[in-house]
Amino acid sequence: MIMNMYLLFPIFMFLVACMVYVSNRKHLLITLLSLEYLMLSLFMLMFMYLMKNHLEMYFVMMFLVFSVCEGALGLSILVSMIRTHGNNYFQSFNSLMC
């Protein structure tokens, strides 16, 4: 019973992260932070589930590697956007311009 309550906490974190990601569309940095929070909640959920069922942890390690790569790509996009446009507002960014 107690372990099921521990599994509910990452699910609640996931739902909160999804709401923040959907509701906030003004800054790219806040969007990237909400995506990282989403990855953290998924990591916690997978880790607790795999620990509860005594399964292998290799998938969790691969998930961490891919989430770090996703974060690095997001930061590189943020830096290039700030260098070209001067801010990180989605309103000033047009993907059709080169």
Q: Which two tokens stand for residue 96?
A: 């059709």
Angstrom CA distances, 3 to 11, 41, 53, 55, 59, stand at: 13, 16, 11, 16, 21
Mean pLDDT of the chain: 82
SS3 track for the chain: CHHHHHHHHHHHHHHHHHHHHHHCCCEHHHHHHHHHHHHHHHHHHHHHHHHHCCCCCHHHHHHHHHHHHHHHHHHHHHHHHHHHHCCCECCCCCCCCC
Task: Look at residue 3 in the predicted model and tell me its pLDDT.
Answer: 62
Task: Look at residue 9 in the predicted model and tell me its pLDDT.
Answer: 84
Q: What confidence tens digit (pLDDT) does each residue in 48-81 have?
A: 888 888 888 898 999 999 999 998 998 898 888 8
What CATH architecture is 2-85? Orthogonal Bundle (1.10)
Residues in the chain, total:
98
Pick the range with the lowest mean pLDDT from 30-34, 86-90, 94-98: 94-98
Domain ranges for the chain, please list them: 2-85
Q: Structure pTM?
A: 0.78
